[in-house]
Amino acid sequence: MSEAKAGGSGLCAGRVVAVTGAGRGLGRAHAHAYAAEGAKVVVNDLGVGLDGAPGAESPAAQVVREIRASGGEATAHGGDVATSEGAASLVATAVDTFGRLDTLVNNAGFLRDRMLVNLDEDDWDAVMRVHLKGHFLPLKHAAAYWRSQAKAGRPVAARIVNTSSGAGLSGSVGQGNYSAAKAGILGLTFVAAAELGRYGVQVNAIAPAARTRMTEATFAASMAAPERGGFDAMAPENVSPLVVWLGSAATGDGVTGRVFEVEGGRITVMEGWHPGPTVDKAERWTPAGAGAAVRELLARAQAPGAVYGAS
Protein backbone atom coordinates (compact mmCIF):
# COMPACT_ATOMS: atom_id res chain seq x y z
CA MET A 1 0.00 0.00 0.00
CA SER A 2 1.26 3.44 -0.90
CA GLU A 3 1.99 5.82 1.93
CA ALA A 4 1.73 9.59 2.11
CA LYS A 5 4.64 11.49 0.62
CA ALA A 6 6.08 14.78 1.78
CA GLY A 7 3.27 17.10 2.84
CA GLY A 8 0.57 14.46 2.42
CA SER A 9 -1.74 12.86 4.96
CA GLY A 10 -2.30 9.54 3.20
CA LEU A 11 -5.86 10.44 2.21
CA CYS A 12 -5.59 8.32 -0.94
CA ALA A 13 -3.25 5.60 0.32
CA GLY A 14 -3.92 2.38 -1.57
CA ARG A 15 -6.04 4.02 -4.29
CA VAL A 16 -5.23 3.87 -7.98
CA VAL A 17 -6.01 7.07 -9.88
CA ALA A 18 -5.99 7.79 -13.61
CA VAL A 19 -5.69 11.43 -14.69
CA THR A 20 -6.15 12.39 -18.35
CA GLY A 21 -4.24 15.33 -19.81
CA ALA A 22 -1.84 15.07 -16.88
CA GLY A 23 1.36 16.12 -18.61
CA ARG A 24 0.94 19.83 -17.93
CA GLY A 25 -1.14 22.42 -16.10
CA LEU A 26 -4.06 21.26 -13.98
CA GLY A 27 -3.63 17.58 -14.83
CA ARG A 28 0.01 17.59 -13.82
CA ALA A 29 -0.87 19.33 -10.54
CA HIS A 30 -3.60 16.75 -9.87
CA ALA A 31 -1.24 13.84 -10.56
CA HIS A 32 1.35 15.19 -8.14
CA ALA A 33 -1.28 15.93 -5.49
CA TYR A 34 -2.72 12.42 -5.65
CA ALA A 35 0.75 10.89 -5.45
CA ALA A 36 1.55 13.05 -2.41
CA GLU A 37 -1.54 11.59 -0.72
CA GLY A 38 -0.37 8.03 -1.34
CA ALA A 39 -2.18 7.18 -4.58
CA LYS A 40 -0.69 5.21 -7.44
CA VAL A 41 -1.17 7.36 -10.53
CA VAL A 42 -1.68 6.61 -14.21
CA VAL A 43 -0.50 9.76 -15.97
CA ASN A 44 -2.23 10.10 -19.34
CA ASP A 45 -1.16 12.66 -21.91
CA LEU A 46 -1.18 12.60 -25.69
CA GLY A 47 1.42 15.36 -25.87
CA VAL A 48 -0.38 17.73 -28.21
CA GLY A 49 -0.25 21.49 -28.49
CA LEU A 50 -2.99 23.96 -27.58
CA ASP A 51 -4.70 23.37 -30.93
CA GLY A 52 -4.54 19.59 -30.69
CA ALA A 53 -1.63 19.16 -33.10
CA PRO A 54 0.84 16.40 -32.11
CA GLY A 55 3.89 17.47 -30.15
CA ALA A 56 7.40 16.12 -30.37
CA GLU A 57 7.22 14.14 -27.14
CA SER A 58 4.57 13.38 -24.54
CA PRO A 59 5.25 15.05 -21.19
CA ALA A 60 3.59 12.16 -19.31
CA ALA A 61 6.92 10.35 -18.85
CA GLN A 62 8.43 13.48 -17.29
CA VAL A 63 5.60 13.72 -14.74
CA VAL A 64 6.08 10.03 -13.92
CA ARG A 65 9.78 10.64 -13.34
CA GLU A 66 8.98 13.57 -11.04
CA ILE A 67 6.51 11.50 -9.00
CA ARG A 68 8.92 8.60 -8.69
CA ALA A 69 11.74 10.94 -7.68
CA SER A 70 9.51 12.10 -4.82
CA GLY A 71 8.97 8.51 -3.70
CA GLY A 72 5.60 7.98 -5.34
CA GLU A 73 4.31 5.37 -7.77
CA ALA A 74 3.19 6.25 -11.29
CA THR A 75 3.08 4.98 -14.84
CA ALA A 76 2.61 6.79 -18.15
CA HIS A 77 -0.17 6.27 -20.68
CA GLY A 78 0.04 7.96 -24.08
CA GLY A 79 -3.22 6.78 -25.61
CA ASP A 80 -5.89 9.00 -27.14
CA VAL A 81 -8.78 8.86 -24.64
CA ALA A 82 -11.15 10.32 -27.22
CA THR A 83 -11.05 6.89 -28.92
CA SER A 84 -12.62 3.76 -27.51
CA GLU A 85 -9.32 1.90 -27.85
CA GLY A 86 -7.38 4.60 -26.01
CA ALA A 87 -9.94 4.92 -23.23
CA ALA A 88 -10.11 1.15 -22.75
CA SER A 89 -6.32 0.93 -22.62
CA LEU A 90 -6.26 3.64 -19.93
CA VAL A 91 -8.36 1.45 -17.65
CA ALA A 92 -6.37 -1.63 -18.63
CA THR A 93 -3.09 0.14 -17.82
CA ALA A 94 -4.31 0.91 -14.31
CA VAL A 95 -5.54 -2.63 -13.70
CA ASP A 96 -2.55 -4.37 -15.30
CA THR A 97 0.03 -2.16 -13.59
CA PHE A 98 -1.47 -1.59 -10.16
CA GLY A 99 -4.19 -4.25 -9.93
CA ARG A 100 -7.22 -1.95 -9.82
CA LEU A 101 -8.72 1.45 -10.62
CA ASP A 102 -10.44 3.57 -7.98
CA THR A 103 -10.59 7.10 -9.37
CA LEU A 104 -10.83 8.68 -12.82
CA VAL A 105 -10.08 12.37 -13.32
CA ASN A 106 -11.17 13.57 -16.76
CA ASN A 107 -9.09 16.64 -17.55
CA ALA A 108 -7.76 16.46 -21.13
CA GLY A 109 -8.62 19.30 -23.49
CA PHE A 110 -7.47 22.02 -25.87
CA LEU A 111 -8.79 25.17 -27.52
CA ARG A 112 -9.68 26.35 -31.02
CA ASP A 113 -11.22 29.73 -30.32
CA ARG A 114 -13.17 31.64 -32.97
CA MET A 115 -16.18 33.91 -33.08
CA LEU A 116 -19.16 31.85 -34.23
CA VAL A 117 -19.30 33.30 -37.74
CA ASN A 118 -15.64 32.34 -38.23
CA LEU A 119 -15.80 28.96 -36.48
CA ASP A 120 -15.08 26.12 -38.91
CA GLU A 121 -16.91 22.83 -38.64
CA ASP A 122 -13.57 21.06 -38.11
CA ASP A 123 -12.81 23.33 -35.14
CA TRP A 124 -16.23 22.57 -33.66
CA ASP A 125 -15.81 18.82 -34.13
CA ALA A 126 -12.26 18.74 -32.79
CA VAL A 127 -13.13 20.51 -29.53
CA MET A 128 -16.27 18.42 -29.04
CA ARG A 129 -14.26 15.27 -29.67
CA VAL A 130 -11.49 15.95 -27.16
CA HIS A 131 -13.52 17.57 -24.39
CA LEU A 132 -16.88 15.80 -24.55
CA LYS A 133 -16.05 12.48 -26.18
CA GLY A 134 -12.78 12.49 -24.25
CA HIS A 135 -14.84 12.56 -21.05
CA PHE A 136 -17.49 10.07 -22.15
CA LEU A 137 -15.24 7.23 -23.31
CA PRO A 138 -12.94 6.99 -20.24
CA LEU A 139 -16.04 7.30 -18.05
CA LYS A 140 -17.79 4.54 -19.99
CA HIS A 141 -14.88 2.09 -19.78
CA ALA A 142 -14.14 2.85 -16.14
CA ALA A 143 -17.83 2.44 -15.29
CA ALA A 144 -17.94 -0.93 -17.06
CA TYR A 145 -14.96 -2.08 -14.96
CA TRP A 146 -16.58 -0.95 -11.72
CA ARG A 147 -19.90 -2.51 -12.66
CA SER A 148 -18.15 -5.83 -13.21
CA GLN A 149 -16.46 -5.52 -9.83
CA ALA A 150 -19.77 -4.75 -8.11
CA LYS A 151 -21.54 -7.65 -9.83
CA ALA A 152 -18.73 -9.96 -8.72
CA GLY A 153 -19.47 -8.97 -5.13
CA ARG A 154 -16.33 -6.90 -4.63
CA PRO A 155 -16.70 -3.61 -2.70
CA VAL A 156 -16.51 -0.51 -4.89
CA ALA A 157 -15.88 3.03 -3.66
CA ALA A 158 -15.07 4.58 -7.01
CA ARG A 159 -14.93 8.26 -7.91
CA ILE A 160 -15.04 10.26 -11.14
CA VAL A 161 -14.10 13.95 -11.30
CA ASN A 162 -14.99 15.68 -14.54
CA THR A 163 -13.62 19.04 -15.66
CA SER A 164 -16.02 21.69 -16.90
CA SER A 165 -15.39 25.44 -16.92
CA GLY A 166 -16.92 28.80 -16.24
CA ALA A 167 -17.45 28.85 -20.00
CA GLY A 168 -19.72 25.85 -19.60
CA LEU A 169 -21.63 27.53 -16.79
CA SER A 170 -22.22 30.95 -18.36
CA GLY A 171 -20.66 30.96 -21.82
CA SER A 172 -17.59 32.76 -23.14
CA VAL A 173 -17.42 35.05 -26.18
CA GLY A 174 -15.22 33.55 -28.88
CA GLN A 175 -15.51 30.07 -27.38
CA GLY A 176 -18.81 28.72 -28.67
CA ASN A 177 -17.38 25.24 -29.27
CA TYR A 178 -15.57 25.10 -25.92
CA SER A 179 -18.56 26.51 -24.00
CA ALA A 180 -20.93 23.98 -25.55
CA ALA A 181 -18.56 21.09 -24.84
CA LYS A 182 -18.05 22.14 -21.23
CA ALA A 183 -21.81 22.56 -20.73
CA GLY A 184 -22.25 19.07 -22.17
CA ILE A 185 -19.83 17.70 -19.60
CA LEU A 186 -22.14 18.99 -16.87
CA GLY A 187 -25.10 17.11 -18.35
CA LEU A 188 -22.96 13.98 -18.65
CA THR A 189 -21.94 14.33 -15.00
CA PHE A 190 -25.55 14.47 -13.80
CA VAL A 191 -26.56 11.40 -15.80
CA ALA A 192 -23.49 9.40 -14.77
CA ALA A 193 -24.09 10.21 -11.10
CA ALA A 194 -27.68 8.98 -11.38
CA GLU A 195 -26.83 5.81 -13.30
CA LEU A 196 -23.63 4.68 -11.57
CA GLY A 197 -24.49 5.19 -7.91
CA ARG A 198 -25.88 1.65 -7.70
CA TYR A 199 -22.38 0.34 -8.42
CA GLY A 200 -20.64 2.42 -5.75
CA VAL A 201 -19.48 5.18 -8.11
CA GLN A 202 -19.77 8.88 -7.27
CA VAL A 203 -19.44 11.45 -10.06
CA ASN A 204 -18.83 15.18 -9.68
CA ALA A 205 -17.52 18.03 -11.81
CA ILE A 206 -15.33 21.05 -11.20
CA ALA A 207 -15.25 24.39 -13.00
CA PRO A 208 -11.70 25.56 -12.25
CA ALA A 209 -10.01 28.89 -12.83
CA ALA A 210 -6.24 28.64 -12.94
CA ARG A 211 -3.21 29.66 -14.97
CA THR A 212 -2.42 27.04 -17.61
CA ARG A 213 -1.42 27.05 -21.29
CA MET A 214 -5.12 27.19 -22.17
CA THR A 215 -5.85 30.23 -20.01
CA GLU A 216 -2.79 32.42 -20.55
CA ALA A 217 -4.80 35.00 -22.50
CA THR A 218 -7.80 34.87 -20.16
CA PHE A 219 -5.78 35.44 -17.03
CA ALA A 220 -3.11 37.70 -18.53
CA ALA A 221 -3.88 40.50 -16.06
CA SER A 222 -3.73 38.13 -13.09
CA MET A 223 -0.46 36.70 -14.34
CA ALA A 224 1.08 40.14 -14.62
CA ALA A 225 -0.11 41.26 -11.18
CA PRO A 226 2.21 40.66 -8.21
CA GLU A 227 1.26 37.87 -5.87
CA ARG A 228 -0.59 39.02 -2.78
CA GLY A 229 0.84 37.90 0.51
CA GLY A 230 2.87 35.22 -1.22
CA PHE A 231 -0.31 33.42 -2.43
CA ASP A 232 -0.54 32.90 -6.16
CA ALA A 233 -4.33 32.69 -6.61
CA MET A 234 -4.02 31.46 -10.21
CA ALA A 235 -1.67 28.55 -9.55
CA PRO A 236 -3.16 25.26 -10.81
CA GLU A 237 -2.05 23.57 -7.59
CA ASN A 238 -4.84 25.47 -5.78
CA VAL A 239 -7.46 23.41 -7.60
CA SER A 240 -5.96 20.01 -6.86
CA PRO A 241 -6.84 19.64 -3.14
CA LEU A 242 -10.56 19.63 -3.93
CA VAL A 243 -10.00 17.21 -6.82
CA VAL A 244 -8.05 14.89 -4.51
CA TRP A 245 -10.77 14.95 -1.86
CA LEU A 246 -13.52 14.33 -4.43
CA GLY A 247 -11.50 11.39 -5.73
CA SER A 248 -10.98 9.85 -2.29
CA ALA A 249 -13.10 7.54 -0.17
CA ALA A 250 -13.23 10.31 2.45
CA THR A 251 -16.23 11.85 0.68
CA GLY A 252 -18.41 9.08 2.09
CA ASP A 253 -21.87 8.61 0.63
CA GLY A 254 -23.97 11.31 -0.99
CA VAL A 255 -21.36 13.62 -2.53
CA THR A 256 -22.32 13.02 -6.15
CA GLY A 257 -23.92 14.85 -9.06
CA ARG A 258 -22.45 18.16 -7.87
CA VAL A 259 -20.56 20.96 -9.61
CA PHE A 260 -17.92 22.96 -7.78
CA GLU A 261 -16.36 26.20 -8.98
CA VAL A 262 -12.85 26.55 -7.58
CA GLU A 263 -10.34 29.38 -7.87
CA GLY A 264 -7.47 30.21 -5.54
CA GLY A 265 -8.77 29.61 -2.03
CA ARG A 266 -12.45 29.84 -2.99
CA ILE A 267 -14.80 26.84 -3.43
CA THR A 268 -18.41 27.38 -4.53
CA VAL A 269 -21.18 24.82 -4.94
CA MET A 270 -22.90 25.71 -8.19
CA GLU A 271 -26.66 25.19 -8.08
CA GLY A 272 -27.58 25.21 -11.77
CA TRP A 273 -31.00 25.61 -13.32
CA HIS A 274 -34.01 25.98 -11.04
CA PRO A 275 -37.61 26.83 -12.00
CA GLY A 276 -38.28 30.56 -11.81
CA PRO A 277 -41.56 32.43 -12.22
CA THR A 278 -44.21 30.37 -14.01
CA VAL A 279 -47.77 30.68 -15.26
CA ASP A 280 -50.21 27.98 -16.36
CA LYS A 281 -53.28 29.04 -18.36
CA ALA A 282 -54.59 25.44 -18.48
CA GLU A 283 -55.40 25.91 -22.17
CA ARG A 284 -53.55 26.78 -25.37
CA TRP A 285 -52.03 30.25 -25.64
CA THR A 286 -52.32 32.60 -28.58
CA PRO A 287 -48.96 33.97 -29.77
CA ALA A 288 -49.83 37.43 -28.48
CA GLY A 289 -51.04 36.02 -25.16
CA ALA A 290 -47.88 33.92 -24.77
CA GLY A 291 -45.78 37.01 -25.44
CA ALA A 292 -47.61 39.06 -22.85
CA ALA A 293 -47.26 36.27 -20.31
CA VAL A 294 -43.53 35.92 -20.98
CA ARG A 295 -42.97 39.66 -20.56
CA GLU A 296 -44.71 39.52 -17.17
CA LEU A 297 -42.66 36.48 -16.12
CA LEU A 298 -39.40 38.11 -17.19
CA ALA A 299 -40.25 41.18 -15.11
CA ARG A 300 -40.28 38.89 -12.04
CA ALA A 301 -37.31 36.72 -13.02
CA GLN A 302 -33.67 37.14 -12.12
CA ALA A 303 -31.50 38.61 -14.85
CA PRO A 304 -29.23 36.04 -16.55
CA GLY A 305 -25.55 36.07 -15.64
CA ALA A 306 -23.15 37.87 -17.92
CA VAL A 307 -21.36 35.91 -20.63
CA TYR A 308 -17.60 36.18 -20.10
CA GLY A 309 -16.12 38.67 -22.53
CA ALA A 310 -19.42 40.29 -23.49
CA SER A 311 -19.32 44.08 -23.72
**pLDDT tens across 21-32, in order?**
999 999 999 999
Q: Is the pLDDT of residue 49 over 50?
A: yes
Mean pLDDT of 290-301: 97
Which residues participate in catalysis according to the annotation?
Answer: 165, 178, 182
Q: pLDDT grade, residue 311 (50/70/90)?
A: confident
Q: Is the pLDDT of residue 215 over 90?
A: no
Closest to 130 in 3D by CA, of 182, 167, 59: 182
Closest to 246 in 3D by CA, of 166, 162, 131, 182: 162
- The confidence score (pLDDT) of residue 57 equals 63
For each of the domains in the chain, give its residue range(s) and CATH number, in order of start.
16-270 (3.40.50.720)
CA 22, 27, 29, 30 torsion-angle sign: negative
The 8-class DSSP code of residue 75 comes to E
Encode pLDDT of 254-265 as tens digits.
Answer: 999 999 999 999
DSSP H or E run through 40: strand 40-44
- The confidence score (pLDDT) of residue 234 equals 87
Contact 114, 80 (CB under 8 A): no
- The confidence score (pLDDT) of residue 110 equals 87
Q: Is the pLDDT of residue 52 over 60?
A: no
